[in-house]
Structures are given as C-alpha cells and as structure tokens.
C-alpha cells in the first residue's frame, strides 16, 4: 500500500505540473478570467452537520465562486430546513446564493410561498427542478400539483420577476426519459419558459457530455449547458448514488477505485487526479463554467480548483489590463 500511495502521489504531482505548464503557455492571463465555477451544498440535518458546513463554507470562500446553490427537499419535505440553510449560507458566504426549488406535488400557492421566503432572504437566483418522489410516495404524486413539469415551474418563477433561473440537464438521459431526444425537447421547453442556464447531473464519461451538448446546440438550445462535476469522496456511495440517477461509471473507474475506500488517502489523491483531468478536458472543449457537487466538503474541490488555476479572480488595475 505504501508503494501504491507513493505512485499516486507522483501521478498527482505530474498532473499538477502538466496543468501548470499548460496554463503558463496559455495566452490567457488567467484561466479564472474565462472559466466560471459554482458550488452546490445540501441542508445539514443537525447542528453538528451545520458546523461542518460552516467550516466548508469558510474553506471554499477564498476561491470566490460565481455563485453557490443549496438543494431543496422533494415534495417540500425539507422546505423549512432548506430555507434555514439558504439563510445560513447567505449570511456566512460572501457570494450569491441560488436556492433550489422543486414543484412535485406542490400547489401554486405553496410554490409562491416558498419563492417569497427565498426572495425575502435576498435570493435572486434559483435552480428550478421537478424534484424526485419522496421516499415511500406513490407515483400518482407526479400527476398532482399545479406544476407537473419543471418548465411549468420555470414559467411560474419567471412570472414573478427578473430572476436568474437554472434548470437541470441529463447528458446520459433522465431515468424516466425514453431517449436523449426527449431530454433535449424538455431542455428546449425550459429554455422557452425563461431558463437562463442548464446544470447537468454529474457524469464520469466526458464524451457523453460532449455529444449531448453538441446535440442540444444543434437542436436549438442556446443557453449555456454547465457540466456537473462530482469529486469522489466515497466510491461505494458514489456507485449507489449513480445507479439511482442514471449516471454511468466506466469500467476503468471501477478498476481504478477498487478497494480504495479502505485507503482514504490514496482514494482522495486518485479522485483529485480523475476530476482534475476531467475538468481540464472539458475546458479544452470550450466549457466556460464548472459546477461542483461538494457534498458539503471542501478538500477535494479545493485541490481540484487549485491545480486547475481556478482560484480567486486576479485583481488588475487599468495599466496591467492595457499591457495585457
């Protein structure tokens, strides 16, 4: 195991040096000037988890993301907890906060009430999603409520004001969709309803994202499609989560991470290397915004951003801008 640890340390250092040289050769002053980033968190379940989230926020604040987002419970099951979490982040984190809002099984009055609560907290950005079925709920819930599809939720939010509205996208097909074309049609409907940006489900096969993006653009999607990046903190947990949302895990990843949950230091180095290379390839293919699913942890996201050069935006005065 010590030999394996040393090998992966060397691999990570080689990745860092290769990316550093790539940035130095780039005519762009800083990659941060052309690549935006955002971080996603979820509401803590108890006070101990809330304190851990506070520490994560403090650690990630120095990276100056363009915005952060806070998830929302399906069917309003954790609406109060979500609202408290958004208030906490808005108070502690010096960047704009996007509140997730779901509509499954909700009346228009419930949606408007939740929207009002977030607006009262100063929120002007939203992530509009249909939402998943709550645990134990029957599928009939999908046919109840005033907004049965996410594009209807987008319309409801858009009618209330000039908000920035993000929506979901699924490069490997939503589990309930018949095919990718159906997902692209749904994306077009959300765009027509007033969405500004799509953020994808996490994925590990970059080629699938690039094909999906090209197909969507060819079909008429004009809003940015932002890739969702999930650093792997626990591979077995990631594999279970991926199976529920239709995200595939390539065979090479299964082999690479096999047994590494018992060697967390090695796993974290491997996870950092894999995610960094994925982000670098996305950027090379024209991606201008990365959305990180942090799982309320800072270590891997910080390492990935530092290696890529996605730190704080450079402060430049007018003289340095003229020289550039």
Question: Is residue 134 predicted with pLDDT exceeding 70?
Answer: no
State residue 291 phi and psi, 5-degree precision.
-115, 120
Mean predicted confidence (pLDDT) in 213-240: 97
Q: Give domain status of residue 69, yes or no.
A: yes
Q: Residue 295 class from Cβ within 10 Å (0-12 exposed, 13-18 middle, 19+ buried)?
A: buried
Contact in structure between 268 and 254 (CB atoms under 8 Å): no
Residue 38 lies in a domain: yes
- Residue 49 sits in a domain of what CATH number? 3.20.20.220
Rounded CA separation 201/114 (Å) = 24
**Number of structural domains in the chain:** 1
Angstrom distance (rounded) from CA 133 to CA 146: 16
Task: Find tokens 């591979």 and name the residue.
Answer: 235
Could you tell me if residue 15 is inside a domain?
no
Residue 131: pLDDT above 80?
Answer: no
- Dihedral over alpha carbons 6, 12, 13, 19 (to 10 degrees): 170
State both tokens at 108.
Answer: 């228009």
Does the annotation mark 40 as catalytic?
yes
pLDDT at 315 over 60: no
Share above pLDDT 70 across residues of the chain, in percent, rounded to a whole number: 81
Q: Per the confidence metrics, is the pTM higher than 0.85?
A: yes
**How confident is the model at residue 221, as a pLDDT?**
98
Domain assignment present for residue 64? The answer is yes
- Mean pLDDT is lowest, of 14-18, 26-30, 107-111, 286-290, for 26-30
- pLDDT at position 24 is 56
Does residue 261 lie within any of the structural domains? Answer: yes
Task: Classify residue 14: in a domain, yes or no.
Answer: no
In a domain, 3, yes or no: no
Name the pLDDT band for 1 (thresholds 50, 70, 90): very low
Question: Which is the catalytic residue, given 14, 24, 33, 40?
Answer: 40
- Position 141 scores a pLDDT of 56
Domain coverage including residue 290: 33-313
**23 domain-assigned:** no
């Amino acid at each position: 195991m010590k030999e394996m640890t040393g090998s992966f340390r060397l691999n990570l250092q080689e990745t860092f040096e290769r990316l550093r040289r790539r940035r130095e050769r780039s005519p762009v002053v800083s990659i941060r000037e052309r690549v935006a980033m955002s971080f996603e968190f979820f509401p803590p379940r108890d006070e101990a988890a809330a304190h851990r989230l506070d520490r994560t926020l403090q650690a990630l604040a120095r990276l100056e993301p363009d915005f952060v987002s806070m998830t929302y419970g399906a069917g309003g099951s954790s609406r109060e907890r979500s609202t408290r979490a958004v208030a906490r982040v808005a108070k502690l984190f010096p960047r704009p906060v996007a509140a997730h809002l779901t509509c499954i099984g909700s009346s228009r009055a419930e949606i408007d009430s939740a929207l009002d609560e977030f607006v009262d907290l100063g929120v002007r950005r939203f992530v509009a999603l249909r939402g998943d079925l709550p645990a134990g709920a029957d599928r009939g819930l999908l046919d109840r409520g005033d907004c049965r599809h996410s594009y209807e939720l987008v319309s409801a939010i858009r009618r209330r004001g000039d908000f920035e509205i993000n929506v979901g996208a699924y490069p490997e097909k939503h589990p309930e969709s018949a095919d990718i074309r159906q997902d692209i049609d749904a994306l077009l409907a959300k765009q027509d309803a007033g969405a500004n940006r799509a953020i994808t489900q996490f994925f590990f096969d970059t080629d699938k994202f690039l094909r999906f993006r090209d197909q969507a653009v060819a079909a008429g999607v004009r809003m940015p499609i932002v890739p969702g990046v999930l650093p792997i903190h626990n591979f077995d947990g990631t594999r279970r989560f991926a199976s529920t949302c239709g995200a595939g895990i390539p065979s090479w990843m299964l082999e690479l991470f096999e047994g590494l949950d018992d060697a967390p230091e090695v796993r974290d180095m491997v996870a950092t290397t894999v995610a960094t290379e994925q982000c670098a390839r996305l950027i090379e293919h024209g991606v201008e915004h990365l959305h990180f699913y942090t799982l309320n942890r800072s270590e891997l996201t910080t390492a990935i951003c530092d290696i890529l050069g996605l730190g704080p935006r450079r402060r430049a005065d007018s003289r340095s801008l003229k020289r550039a």
